[in-house]
């Protein structure tokens, strides 16, 4: 049986070992142990308070295997992106390109850098 719960500072070492198994593409998990400790401290504080407006705090969750009493997964919800400093992301835009002479049409996808100053909630650090 599994349960999802908020992470605590007692999870630091086991969570650090779990993060070590993450693939290269998990950029939000490419952090050092001190940064992980800081994120856990901010998460514990965020879970302990009641707020009316999203502030960008991280809410770190862990997936615990109750049969082995070990952590097998993690996720982090950032309650807001941007606002205090810009959050940079890419937006995918699609444009139809048509050549009447060649009687061809194709869909062209392009990435555009955007800055988000009052962005949505972000789910990251999945493992």
Partner residues linked to 123 by β-bridges: 77
Q: What is the per-residue pLDDT for 56?
A: 76
Q: Is the dihedral of CA 52, 78, 59, 85 positive or negative?
A: negative
| Residue 110 pLDDT level (bands cut at 50, 70, 90) | very high
Confidence check: pLDDT of 125 > 80:
no
CA–CA distances in Å: residue 95 to residues 28, 50, 109, 110: 31, 44, 7, 8
Confidence check: pLDDT of 24 > 70:
no
- Distance CA(84)–CA(15), nearest Å, equals 28
Question: When comparing pLDDT for 21 and 4, which is higher?
Answer: 4
- Distance CA(41)–CA(96), nearest Å, equals 48
pTM reported for the whole predicted model = 0.67
Q: Each residue of 38-80: pLDDT tens digit? A: 999 999 999 998 877 767 788 999 999 999 999 998 888 888 7
């Amino acid at each position: 049986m599994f349960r999802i719960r908020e992470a605590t500072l007692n999870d630091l070492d086991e969570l650090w070992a779990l993060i070590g198994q993450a693939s290269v593409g998990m950029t939000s998990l490419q952090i050092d142990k001190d940064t992980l400790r800081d994120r856990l401290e901010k998460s514990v504080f965020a879970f302990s308070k009641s707020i009316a407006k999203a502030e960008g705090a991280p809410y770190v969750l862990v997936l615990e295997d109750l049969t082995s009493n070990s952590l097998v997964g993690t996720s982090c919800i950032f309650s807001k992106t941007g606002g205090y400093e810009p959050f940079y992301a890419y937006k995918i835009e699609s444009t139809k390109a048509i050549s009447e002479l060649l009687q061809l049409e194709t869909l062209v996808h392009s990435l555009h850098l955007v800055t988000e100053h009052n962005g949505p909630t972000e789910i990251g650090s999945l493992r």
